A and B are shown apart, each in its own frame.
Chain A
Amino acid sequence: MTALSSSEGSGLRTNAPRAGNPRPATTRIASLGVRAVPALCVLGALGLGLGLIALTGVPLARALPAFARGIVGSDYALVGSLMRAVPLSLIGLGYILAERANLTNVGGEGQLAVGGIASAAVALYGGAAALPRPLAFLAPLAAGALAGALWGALAGALKARRGSNEVITTLLLGFVGLQMVYGSVQSEALLRQPRTDSSTLPESLPLPAATELPLLARGSGLPLHVGLVIALLLAVLVGLLLAKSSLGLRLAAVGQNELASRRAGLRVKSLIVLALGASGALGGLAGAIMIQGDQHYLTAGFSSGFGFDGLVVGLLARGSAWQVPLFALLFGALRSGGLAMEMSAQVPAAVVLVCQGLIVVATAAAAALGRRRA
């Protein structure tokens, strides 16, 4: 077929049509095995982590309880893990949403960043504090989501119109976003707090109390905020969207075969922009939640790797929305535990990074070998 080509422009062809015969269901045991693969990878990586801990000379008897205390040792710790899981979930959900249309969004870190910038800007200088109660914190959240949406949609538009591979564009935009945070807190004309003396840090002013996310469990003093509810709601929403809605089917069709989708009358270009825009919106929302719920002011590097972690969560969930919060909780717990382990047992938190890296690599390998066998 010479007249048509399935990738317009010169983009990298990561979106070759996923045609071909899907395998018929194999025996029950084999398919159970396939589903257990991510769990096995996690266990294997954790095992290796234990080995590393042993290498440090710190007895496991001291390290592991410290780790566990960091996760569930106190209400405070538990809440910490949950709150870490919130942005991870949102980014993961964004990843699988785009993945349904065979689009790979690796720019979560940048979408977090611009979401945080927009949220801080609107909260501090956009008059959000003056709005009535729910709007005071909803407006900056919406701003964050919108900023993230624009960031994602930009990559989507480049792909739809010019065929630019979205892996490259979202990655590059991600770095740009990170630098934008850095830039916006460097200058008082932007978001930097007024310099009172030479030791004033490059950060924004603290957010007005009205724009902070309301706390659940008000009396306990725990930093458990409404972001948790938002994340859970969105997990349900995204799951329903992908499984039950017409839009979900259209995204799947585009993801499988762009040409046939065009032939069938779908608005392929719009769907691509929508998918990446929605994916970015979730990332932007995550950034806003981090600023308004956890940190309460904007500083460079506030996203501290949550973007890539969230990406990994999305990868591990393999397209299933309900698995995203589970893996997010896992990674959030790993982080909390790791930090606690470092503080009280002097085991470097880097062990957790090693485990995460191993999990990712092992899962990718297992998925690939599983495909090869097919």
Chain B
Amino acid sequence: MIESLGVFVASTLRLATPLVLGATGEVVSERAGVLNLSLEGMMLSAAFAAALGAHASGSPLVGLGAGVLAALLLAAAQAWLSVRAGANQLVVGIGINLLALGATTFAYREIFGGLSREVIPSFEAWSVPGLASLPLVGPALFQQTPLVYAALALVGFSAWLINATSFGLALRAAGEDPRAADQAGVPVARVRMLCVLYTGACAGLAGAFLSVSSISTFTEGMTNGAGYLAVTAVILGAWRTSRVLAACLLFGAATALQFLLPALGVALPTALLTMLPYLLALAAVSGVVGRSRPPAALTLPFRRGSSR
């Protein structure tokens, strides 16, 4: 039982980390007014690129860099299309996801041969001295791969960025009232594009985590909806980094329970657990549970001179 708890906590953290990385990055974009459904595609490309990079160089760090680059590439496309061209952000996101799925599957087959189960060089777990030997949750909490700690640091950094810097002020204004922000001299388009790139970098970390830190391999479509789940976490977390972190942990826990409960002999239909995140987010966005108010200009392209 106690081991189960330890395993549960460790699994929760491990499963939540890509969500935390992806969702925290996405909060920055959405607060500035851009919705990135392409988060899924960014994470998948990053997972593949990281696997490729680590495999080719033998170093997971190189893989990490490759992953971030791949995600940034897609983020740049999303940024240019949604912000400069003013295209429908949702359509662009779905298109990029299709593209990413196709491209990574294609490249994987060509390079790795499809069914290989190559073990990718990946990060070793770090032990926080002292804390790692705490009973019960010591190993679970303090003996994780470095990206897990990086994720938590990212949450803090993003919160500081949004709330305490002048860039954060500008992005919040761009997401609430881009017209007023523009008239105050804020470069709305540039701010939004930078935010999408930030999301891309975070998505890169998230995707790389999957292939070079969590499961040391790449499989086709391995993100399996994690990007959408991250977007869902942003909704449930009401666009606030601390609450989004909580939502991600909740989702991670729900996924961990899927494996834990059968092992414990509890016959709860796993479908309920997998549905839970979406149901919670639905409740949040429909105002049943609290009032989740999105940034006023979310998904609306800004064009100077058009009214309101």
Contact = CB atoms under 8 A, between A and B. Distances in A.
Contacts of B3: none
B101 A172 contact: no
A171 B228 contact: yes
A164 B289 CA distance: 13
A176 B275 CA distance: 5
A358 B102 CA distance: 10
Nearest to B293: A10
B291 A350 contact: no
A254 interface: no
Contacts of B225: 175
A167 B294 contact: no
A212 B156 CA distance: 57
A357 B78 CA distance: 13
A162 B286 contact: yes
Interface in A153-176: 158, 162, 164-165, 167-169, 171-173, 175-176
Given A176-B275, A312-B94, A350-B109, A361 B286 contact: no
Contact of B286 (A13, A16, A169, A179): A169
A311 interface: yes
Interface string B268-304: 0111101100110110011100011110111111010
Contact of A169 (B96, B98, B285, B297): B285
Contacts of A351: 102, 106
A270 interface: no
Contact of A176 (B91, B110, B278): B278
Interface string A219-247: 00000000000000000000000000000
Contact of A358 (B99, B294, B303): B99
A20 interface: yes
Contact of A14 (B102, B235, B300): B300
Nearest to B297: A13
B306 interface: yes
A167 B90 contact: yes
A56 B113 CA distance: 11
A350 B81 contact: no
B85 interface: yes
B64 to A, nearest CB: 25
B299 A14 contact: yes
Contacts of B7: none
Contacts of B294: 10-12, 165
Given A183-B269, A186-B270, A353-B102, A368 B109 contact: no
B91 A356 contact: no
Which of A55, A169, A176, A315 counts the most chain B CB atoms within 10 A?
A176
Given A10-B293, A348-B106, A357 B278 contact: no
Interface in A10-34: 10-14, 16, 19-20
A158 B286 contact: yes
B37 to A, nearest CB: 8
Contacts of B187: none
A205 interface: no
A164 B286 contact: yes
Contacts of B87: 364-365, 367-368
Interface string B76-96: 010001000111101110111
A180 interface: yes
Contacts of B279: 176
B39 to A, nearest CB: 13
B86 A182 contact: no
A12 B81 contact: no
Which of A56, A187, A368 counts the most chain B CB atoms within 10 A?
A368
Contacts of B102: 350-357
A46 to B, nearest CB: 13
A360 B96 CA distance: 8
Interface in B120-166: none
A372 interface: yes
Contacts of A162: 286-287
A9 interface: yes
B299 A167 contact: yes
Interface string A341-353: 0000000101111
A218 interface: no
A168 B90 CA distance: 10
B222 interface: no
B269 A187 contact: yes
18 contacts: A12-B299, A104-B90, A165-B285, A168-B281, A168-B285, A180-B271, A182-B274, A184-B271, A186-B270, A311-B94, A351-B106, A353-B105, A354-B99, A357-B101, A364-B81, A367-B87, A367-B88, A369-B85
Given A184-B271, A353-B103, A361-B81, 20 more contacts: A9-B287, A10-B294, A13-B296, A16-B300, A106-B90, A164-B286, A169-B286, A183-B271, A308-B98, A348-B106, A353-B106, A354-B99, A357-B99, A357-B101, A359-B95, A360-B98, A365-B87, A365-B92, A368-B81, A369-B85
Minimum-distance CB pairs A-B, first 6:
A183-B271, A353-B102, A357-B99, A360-B95, A357-B98, A354-B102
